[in-house]
Chains A and B, each alone.
Chain A
Amino acid sequence: MKEQKPLSIGPREGQGPVDSTQDNGARRGIGQRPQVSGSAEQVPLRPKPMMQNEIQTRKRRGRLGRDVQTKLGKTLQAYFDDVVKEGVPDRFKELLQQYDERKDKGSS
């Protein structure tokens, strides 16, 4: 949106011989995502050292920080243990009991 110059760079570099100046202009001129088109063209031309916030963004997208993993792990464990600590409901004790009794009767 702001800069017109990069528009001519885009098709020449990426899109090949198609005369896409107009098409390109129409597409990007609307200004749907001007920031994206700007940065997308800058990166391949001039790879800059990564800024601090870029590193953080990347970290967040890729691998989770250790503190987040720990929090998640604890919550998952607590959610799980909340059930575990209820122990064995009677219905399951009885189930095994009944099975044994039935089997005993059957075999004797």
Chain B
Amino acid sequence: MALEPSVREAMLSAVPSLRAFAISLSGNVDRADDLVQETLLRAMANIDSFQPGTNMSAWLFTILRNLFRSEYRKRRREVEDSDGSYADTLTSHPEQHGRIEFEEFRKALSQLPPDQREALILVGASGFSYEEAAGICECAVGTIKSRVNRARTRLSELLAINSADEFGPDQSTRAVLSASGRR
């Protein structure tokens, strides 16, 4: 049976932020889009287990996160990460997403432990509540809160922000936002 139009709409409208989540996790557009594709395929194949009326976006994020984590674990086994440089390989790909203005930020983000990174993105950018993020990550709300706090602290250290003036989305980001689309 074809997808219900409303289900299909809900899926499509979740795609942009799903992609942003995938790119934030993997640091790589191609891998991220593969993750999104795989997520949508799984979602459609298991659409019966989706409860209508619940949050489609959270459901898709949960699937994508699980896919990413199993891939991450698999790759880590394959690539011997003796010097801890695995994170670099994730982000040194030439087809990274985003513009040069975000380079520093993306680099710092990639240096966060995966747990902290996903918690920060879910709560700080994707618009999920702590409770929803806890549901997606299958952990306690308190765990999410502490991960988010540690992520923020670490990120500010990595970016060497000690005061608001030293690092500014106001300069770089506004320039980015006012620039025309990349594609």
Contacts and interface: CB of A to CB of B under 8 A. Distances in A.
**Do the two chains bind?**
yes
A71 B15 contact: no
Interface in A56-93: 60, 64-65, 67-89, 91-93
Contacts of A107: 1
Interface stretch (B48-56, B75-83, B163-171): B163-171
Given A74-B173, A76-B120, A80-B125, A103 B163 contact: no
Interface residues of B, number: 49
Interface stretch (A19-27, A34-42, A47-55, A94-102): A94-102
Interface string B2-30: 11000010011001110110011000000
> Which secondary structure characterizes the binding site on chain B?
helix
Nearest to A97: B8
A100 B152 contact: no
> Which of A83, A86, A95, A104 counts the most B-chain CB atoms under 10 A from its CB?
A83
Interface in B90-138: 97-99, 102, 105-106, 109, 120-121, 124-126
Contacts of B64: none
Give chain A's interface secondary structure class: helix
A95 B37 contact: yes
A91 B37 contact: yes
Contacts of B23: 83
Given A77-B124, A86-B19, A89-B33, A71 B169 contact: yes
B73 interface: no
Nearest to B21: A80
Given A71-B168, A84-B16, 8 more contacts: A68-B164, A74-B173, A79-B24, A91-B33, A92-B15, A96-B3, A96-B44, A100-B2
